[in-house]
Amino acid sequence: MSKNIVIGREFGSGGREIGKKVADALGINFYDKDLIDLAAKKSGINSDLLYQADEKASNPFFSAYLPTGTDYGTVNDRLFWTQSAIIKELAQKESCVIVGRCSDYVLEEFENCLHIFIYAPLPKRIIRVKERYLIETDGAAKKEISRQDKLRRSYYQYYTDHKWGSVSGKTISIDSSFLGVDGTVQMIINIVKQKWPDFEIKKAEE
């Protein structure tokens, strides 16, 4: 039976990097923006439109509508519906790590699933964002963090009616600055081993 790890994250917390490293260490697939390409293939919608709508709430005034057959909705809606179906299909057939896309909500009924939220203090996130995106000032980095968090919060709360970042429904919330990225990765791996003693860690191909 497949075992899945879903990760929500604050912008600049290192959540994506942590998720990728966990997947690599466990020898399982990692899904993030790959889901957009899978959704484009499944829905037939142009991938450029889907990338623009990625993790953004539908806006009835500004979002494009796409009538197709019996389905009707904005690009954002169609992406969410299609990605949700893909996430469920993936979770049923393989063990994997999935980042964002309301995956904790989509898989809330799945028993073999760890629900993790990664956060970090703002000063630590500012440092990371400045380094990662080559932003020169603290003020500009803080503004980008606020913008991205707002987008993620709006997206999550629009499609789930749950509070973004809440401990409700989470297996664990982790401050990534406490142990650092690699320490947080090891913590999650230890949790996986404790929760699923029979989890078979695949060795990476040499």
pLDDT digits (tens, 9 = 90+) for 85-142: 999 999 999 999 999 999 999 999 999 999 999 999 999 999 999 999 999 999 999 9
At residue 57, the pLDDT reads 85
Q: Give the model confidence (pLDDT) of 142-200 as tens digits.
A: 999 999 999 999 999 999 989 999 998 899 999 999 999 999 999 999 999 999 999 98
Give the pLDDT confidence score for residue 202 in this predicted structure: 74
**Closest CA relative to residue 52, chosen from 72, 28, 78, 71:** 78
Mean pLDDT of the chain: 91
* Distance of alpha carbon 53 from alpha carbon 80, whole angstroms: 9
pLDDT tier, 72 (very low <50, low <70, confident <90, very high otherwise): low
- The predicted-structure confidence for 8-42, as pLDDT tens digits, reads as follows 999 999 999 999 999 999 999 999 999 999 999 99
**pLDDT at 46 exceeding the cut of 90:** no
For the residues of 177-192, what is the DSSP string, one character each?
HHHHHHHHHHHHHHHH
pTM of the model: 0.90
